[in-house]
């Protein structure tokens, strides 16, 4: 077991009669776990960000579907498939932007297309859900291996949101290289943007990097430009919720602003994401649905009102960074750059073989 694996708790764990979920809303004040026993519990946990981060949402939803089918009392496979479709669609309605949710749910549904009995389908679905989690851990480690050579010893690298261990099966995407650097004794420093409105950067990224002993400094989002200039930030690395066929990337609100800053300061801007975050069926960023969340996320901080009652609020959870601003997209298969349309098409052609 590596250093990182021994320290950071898993975000989602299958426990046969329930799903054990690290409650990310309680971090960093408390490390608490929820026992999700129904498909409604899983939907709610995703909706309310108790589990969040594109790959972790996919894993939770996959286990949610495996949990739902345990209660199907039928031997009739066509009735089973009908109920499965219903619960698939229900879980898919929890959040709209991260494509890993739909990818994981479709993968589960497809895995039992040819099942001959309800019992067989239940076994196959659980196996597939576990497989998604196992693969994600391997994938994230590979992303870290491809990302690490992009940095030099002592570099200070900026990130936003939490694309870390708890946003995935393990290691994270954008944070994976920092864990591998730690394992290999390579000093790297991380500047984490706090990530308003719900503070995934301060609550989650700062917490998990500190737990693992990675050098992390917290800044507010508005300090990014000043920090890049005065702290010699050498690169920016972020995760992704959905990458369109042309490389346009949806990620946590504020990412686009960082990409523009990277361009202005002429430093590389990297996106780190597994192939499960790509959506080749979506042509460009303009077609990616952007989730808008409750106004209270902006008008209140920790339950305390910080804006006048009745104020109009716009609260998009994500923004889209145009592919021209992205230096490279780091995947488990290597780093894509240049003509993303061609690169993405070719990587998916190869994956089919």
Binding residues for substrate, as ranges, are 52-54, 95, 200, 251-252
- CA angle centred on 246, ends 106 and 157, rounded to 5°: 95
Least distance in angstroms from the C-beta of 259 to ligand MRU: 13
Nearer to ligand MRU, 98 or 126 (CB): 98
Is 241 designated active site?
yes
Least distance in angstroms from the C-beta of 179 to ligand MRU: 13
Cis, peptide link before residue 321, omega less than 30° from 0: no
**Residues contributing to the site for ligand MRU (CB under 6 A):** 52-55, 98, 161, 163, 167-168, 172-173, 200, 239-241, 251-252, 317
Nearer to ligand MRU, 52 or 109 (CB): 52
Nearer to ligand MRU, 39 or 204 (CB): 204
CA distance 320 to 153: 31
Q: Pick the catalytic residue: 41, 87, 136, 241?
A: 241
Q: How many CA atoms lie within 13 A of 279 on its CB side?
A: 26
- Minimal CB distance to ligand MRU: which residue? 239
Q: Which residues are annotated as a binding site?
A: 52-54, 95, 200, 251-252
Nearer to ligand MRU, 77 or 248 (CB): 248
CA distance 189 to 194: 16
Least distance in angstroms from the C-beta of 53 to ligand MRU: 4
Query: In 250-264, which positions are buried (b, 16+ CB within 10 angstroms) versus exposed (e)?
Result: bbbbbbbbbbebbee
CA distance 78 to 113: 10
Least distance in angstroms from the C-beta of 309 to ligand MRU: 26
Nearer to ligand MRU, 91 or 163 (CB): 163
Nearer to ligand MRU, 124 or 243 (CB): 243
By annotation, the residues acting in catalysis are 241
């Amino acid at each position: 077991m590596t250093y990182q694996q021994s320290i950071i708790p898993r975000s989602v764990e299958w426990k046969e009669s329930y799903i054990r979920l690290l409650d990310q809303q309680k971090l960093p004040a408390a490390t608490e776990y929820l026992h999700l026993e129904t498909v409604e519990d899983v939907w709610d946990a995703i909706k309310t960000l108790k589990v969040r981060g594109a790959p972790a949402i996919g894993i939770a939803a996959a286990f949610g579907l495996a949990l739902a089918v345990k209660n199907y009392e039928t031997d009739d496979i066509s009735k089973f498939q009908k109920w499965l479709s219903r619960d698939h669609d229900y879980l898919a309605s929890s959040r709209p932007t991260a494509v890993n949710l739909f990818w994981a749910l479709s993968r589960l549904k497809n895995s039992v297309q040819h099942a001959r009995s309800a019992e067989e389908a239940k076994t196959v679905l659980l196996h597939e859900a576990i497989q998604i989690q196992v693969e994600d851990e391997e994938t994230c480690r590979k992303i870290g291996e491809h990302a690490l050579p992009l940095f030099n010893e002592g570099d200070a690298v900026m990130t936003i949101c939490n694309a870390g261990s708890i946003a995935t099966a393990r290691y994270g995407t954008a944070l994976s290289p920092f864990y591998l650097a730690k394992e290999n004794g390579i000093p790297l420093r991380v500047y984490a943007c706090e990530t308003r409105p719900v503070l995934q950067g301060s609550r989650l990224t700062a917490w998990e990097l500190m737990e693992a002993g990675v050098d992390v400094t917290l800044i507010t989002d508005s300090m990014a430009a000043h920090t890049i200039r005065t702290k010699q930030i050498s690169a920016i690395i972020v995760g992704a919720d959905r990458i369109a066929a042309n490389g346009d990337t949806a990620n946590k609100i504020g990412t686009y602003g960082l990409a523009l800053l990277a361009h202005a300061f002429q430093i590389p801007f990297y996106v780190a994401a597994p192939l499960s975050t790509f959506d080749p069926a979506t042509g460009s960023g303009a077609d990616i649905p952007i989730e808008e969340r409750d106004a209270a996320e902006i008008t209140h901080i920790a339950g305390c009102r910080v804006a006048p009652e009745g104020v109009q609020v716009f609260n998009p959870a994500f923004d889209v960074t145009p592919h021209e601003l992205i230096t490279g997209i780091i995947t488990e298969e290597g780093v894509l750059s240049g003509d993303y349309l061609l690169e993405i098409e070719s990587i998916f052609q190869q994956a089919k073989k």
